[in-house]
Amino acid sequence: KEDIYSFVIHYILPHKGGPGSGKSSQCEQLAKKYGFTHLSTADLLQNELSSLSERSKFIKDIMECGEPVPGGIVLELLKEAMIANLGDTKGFLIDGYPRELKEAEEFESKVNV
């Protein structure tokens, strides 16, 4: 079994900009150029919602109330996507996470960077 921790990029590349400013496009270009996998939290959430799983029903209920999806759920989706792509990538560019320091600390503790 390959180790997810050896594939985590140890560089944080901050990117700022409003909706539609091209942040995701930049991540896609960097991923393609350097052989990384681009993981977009928006895409991961959308894929989960289309799966009709129990977790997807919970996420849908939260979103319908206008609440943000808890960081722990987003982190679960990220970890699952990272594990699924371990053999096919040189690393990961994560778009849309973390949004706050608490999430960054949780990522570090759960993914062990």
Domains and CATH numbers, the chain: 22-111 (3.40.50.300)
Write down the pLDDT at residue 99: 82
Write down the pLDDT at residue 16: 62
Mean per-residue pLDDT for 7-36? 71
Mean per-residue pLDDT for 42-64? 95
Question: DSSP letter at 90?
Answer: S
Residue 33 has pLDDT above 60, yes or no: yes
Q: DSSP readout, 15-77?
A: ----TTSSHHHHHHHHHHHHTPEEEEHHHHHHHHHHHT-HHHHHHHHHHHTTPPPPHHHHHHH
pTM (two decimals): 0.79
